[in-house]
Amino acid sequence: MRRAALASIVVIGLLAGQAEGQTFDYTFVDVPCNPGAPTFCPGGVAVQTIVSGINAAGDLVGSFVDGAKRQHGFVRHGDSYTTIDVPGEWAGVTGTLPTSANGINPAGEIVGSYTLPVNIAVPPDSPAYCSAAFPAACVKGFLYRQGAFFPVLFPGHPGAVPQRIMPNGDIYGCLHDNDLGMSMYGAVWSRTGDRNLMANGGELADTTLDKPMSMNNGATPGGEVIVGLWMDTRRHGFVVQNGQFQSYDVPSGTIKVTVIWDINPRGEFVGTYVDATGRHGFLQEPDGSLPIQLDVTGQTDTIAYGINTSGVIVGTYAVGGLAHGFVATPLVPRRR
């Protein structure tokens, strides 16, 4: 597979503390939804909103939970929201399936995941297979393109979670079998020939990361740099380049978890870490400087999920057990 790593990463892991440098203008995102049946959203606003991705034009994707505890994907273009729900007919049921939209490219193509009801009457790598004994196998991937849904699967594996889709249509995420642990590997679906071939189980290249419990969460265009997460005794981020894998941890004296969720073409990447004070978002710039801590409105439960070419960051934060989305725009415009 194509791999990547910033040379400065080796230095970063030896430093301590977080930088204050970059400042942002925050706006907040709560998906509006119908206050009546069948969604039951109190006050017309979703119970929980997560913003997972952003493209160069500023279109947002993510997921929300309505008052009936049903999960839906969404895309926001300007001020207009559109619900993205995988059709239940994929599983032979009426209605829609719980859906999360994770990534969007400049063409508006969207990738994400959906969750199935139990169905063991089909092959394990079918888009409709789900085992009650192994719930992880019930999580599958999708591509939404020009108003149509296509399954994103990896032959021989029951589960997949696509995270990002590149301008050329390549998809980054993970495959898994019956768990989200040792059977989970970072994966790439390379689009070749027919633009829908890959999303329908077409021929794939050698596209898995050779570390179990790993996930590809983002890449620069062309896959020169890939970022994500992996786990040994605890969760770490990673950056790979030129075939070299480099683990990454936000420097902190009490670090417990680091995850990288996305990277933009400039090499800036974002994610989250957990230390003794809580969960924080962070921005790592490509110059090897200390990462910038992102805590929305002073809350210590923030996750930075996506970053676009202009350095605009999206994610989620929690207050009182409820999740809200955010968009953080740099006060100093970034060069593309």
Q: Is residue 83 part of a domain?
A: no
Average pLDDT over residues 236-242: 91
Query: Do 125 and 155 touch, CB atoms closer than 8 A?
Result: yes
The Cα 274–Cα 314 span in angstroms is 18
CA-to-CA dists, residue 78 to 25, 57, 61, 94, 135, angstroms: 17, 9, 12, 31, 36
Specify whether the CB–CB gap between 305 and 316 falls below 8 A: yes
Model confidence at 37: pLDDT above 50 = yes
pLDDT tens profile 150-182 = 999 888 899 999 999 999 999 999 999 988 889
Asked if residue 62 is part of any domain, the answer here is: no
Q: How far is CA 159 from the centre of its chain?
A: 16
Domain assignment of residue 96, yes or no: no
Residue 76 in domain: no
Residue 51: pLDDT over 70:
yes
CA distance 239 to 327: 24
| The dihedral formed by the CA atoms of 275, 269, 213 and 183, expressed in degrees to the nearest 10 | 150
Binning pLDDT at 50, 70 and 90, where does residue 138 land? very high
Question: pLDDT tens across 52-100, in order?
Answer: 999 999 999 999 999 999 999 999 999 999 999 999 999 989 999 999 9
Q: How many domains does the chain have?
A: 1
- Please provide the DSSP assignment of 235-303 as one string: EEEEEEETTEEEEE----TT--EEEEEEE-TTS-EEEEEEETTEEEEEEE-TTSPPPEEE-GGG-SBEE
Domain that holds residue 249: 9-55+153-330
The H-assigned helical ranges of the chain are 9-12
Note whether residue 14 is domain-resident: yes
- Cβ-contact 110, 130 below 8 angstroms: no
Give residue-wise pLDDT tens across range 271-322: 999 998 889 999 999 988 899 999 987 666 999 999 999 999 999 999 887 8
Give the integer Cα–Cα distance in Å for 169 and 281: 28
Residue 107 CA to residue 195 CA, distance in Å, equals 13
CA-based radius of gyration for the chain = 19
Where does the pLDDT of residue 332 fall: very low under 50, low under 70, confident under 90, or very high at 90 and above?
Answer: confident
Instruction: List C-alpha distances in Å: 111 to 20, 33, 153.
Output: 33, 22, 12
What tokens does 14 get?
């030896």
213 domain residue, yes or no: yes
Percent of the chain with pLDDT over 90: 67
Examine residue 92 and state whether it is found in any structural domain, yes or no. no
CA distance 159 to 179: 9
Q: Which pLDDT value is given to residue 6?
A: 32
Evaluate whether residue 110 is within a structural domain. Answer: no
Q: How is residue 101 written in tokens?
A: 């939209």
CATH number, domain containing residue 215:
2.120.10
